[in-house]
Amino acid sequence: MTVFSFLFFLEEAVKLGWVISTILVVLVLANGAYGQKDERLYGVWKMTDYAREGQVMDWTGIMIITSEYFSRNYMAKERPLIQDRYESPADLSDQEKTDMVEALHQKFAGASGTYRFENDTLFFNPIVSATPGHADRHPRRQFELNQEGTRLTFKGTMSRGHGVREVWEKVQDF
């Protein structure tokens, strides 16, 4: 190998190194944007407004968001009172069974798990859900956070196709 061919080889290796380095930097930056987290979301949030299909509903709830996990529980403020003083469901009257289904299914929602977001959309990945059949669903909500980071608005579609809007106020930072 001559000195000239060695220098040519060395020059090409340096060029290739720059190309590989540039590609790696682009990939790292792109991956960071895909799975990015926004620390302004971390904390405890209280639901202040909830609407389905444009109809405001009198619901309340708490949501906790950490760097990796979320936990959300929300429910109608007015729900049937149910008693848990029975040995088996057969001990309940038909009305008590109806009230229980309404209180626990139609007027209560909750899930906990991991999340990710892309641009202005938050993707929930439940590990557990108040409704076991919903644990394998992955709801998404477009979100908007006010400039102060104290008011979070979600808009999206529920699993049953209802349009939903949720407004949350931050009550504690992490």
Q: What is the pLDDT of residue 35?
A: 56
Instruction: Look at residue 4 in the predicted model and tell me its pLDDT.
Output: 55
Q: Is the pLDDT of residue 147 over 70?
A: yes
| Structure-token pair, residue 129 | 């859900």
Q: Give me the amino acid identity at 165.
A: R
The proportion of the chain whose per-residue pLDDT surpasses 70, expressed as a percent, equals 72
Beta partners for 96? none
CATH 2.40.128.120 fits 39-173, yes or no: yes
Question: Residue 126, CB half-sphere, CA atoms under 13 Å: how many?
Answer: 18
| 65, pLDDT greater than 90 | yes
Return the pLDDT at 58: 92
pTM of the model: 0.71
- H/E stretch holding 110 reads strand 108-118
Contact 71, 64 (CB under 8 A): yes
Asked if residue 165 lies in contact with residue 141, where contact means CB atoms within 8 angstroms, the answer is no
Inform me whether the pLDDT recorded for 46 exceeds 50: yes
